[in-house]
Homo-oligomer: A and B are copies of this chain.
Amino acid sequence: MTASNFPDVVANLKWHDHAVTRTMREELNGHRGCTLWYTGLSGSGKSTLANEVSAALHAMGVRTYVLDGDNIRQGLNRGLSFSEEDRRENIRRIAEVAKLFSDAGLVTGAAFISPYREERALARSLQPDTFLEIHVKADLATCEKRDPKGLYAKARAGEIRQFTGIDAPYEEPQNPEVVVDTAKNSLADCARLVVHALKQRRLIP
């Protein structure tokens, strides 16, 4: 065959002509692609809950992936500082990657403090129909007692500045799809609420 086969092929180079569509990927998986956006204070249990939900879904045959500080900060977002501009860019990139993962047909967890309503609104705006905001609540005293990374101690000692909940604001979600209180409920119970929200919206069977 010769290059003359290629005119058809070349016409294919647009997004909407992708040979495998999102719908085809979702049909193969038996569920929709979507993003579970976990927001809350440091120590509220976002990553832990995201992984617990992922495990529950995986056991049901649902394809999942979790984006969190551990796989983003030293990779895609390496080099970003904690300046206001870089924090916005940090969340913007995560939101764009979450959108790609939803498009790929996975139930995608994104576990980041994301303290500002504006940045969460941006993340939602990229995929309004497949975005669930999960407010991972725990009172500050509980989070500070857990202090999994010792960051509250450093913030109290003035070694870290602009720490959410101490000297930087956390803007609570006004209309999240799910609210869980990890200070009062077990991890398993919190995970069940999230899985239920997915079923209710027919994102998973």
Interface residues of A (CB under 8 A from B): 1-3, 5-7, 9-15, 17-20, 24-25, 28-29, 43, 45, 47-48, 51-52, 54-55, 58, 61, 63-67, 70-71, 75-76, 93, 96-97, 99-101, 103-106, 126, 138, 142, 145-146, 148-149, 182-187, 189
Contact = CB atoms under 8 A, between A and B. Distances in A.
Given A29-B63, A48-B10, A145 B105 contact: no
* Count of identical protomers in the assembly: 2
A48 B101 contact: no
Contact of A96 (B18, B54, B76, B146): B76
Given A63-B25, A186-B1, A58 B106 contact: no
Contacts of A24: 58
Given A13-B70, A65-B104, 15 more contacts: A1-B184, A3-B138, A6-B182, A10-B48, A10-B146, A10-B148, A12-B48, A15-B70, A18-B54, A29-B63, A75-B100, A93-B93, A97-B97, A101-B101, A104-B104
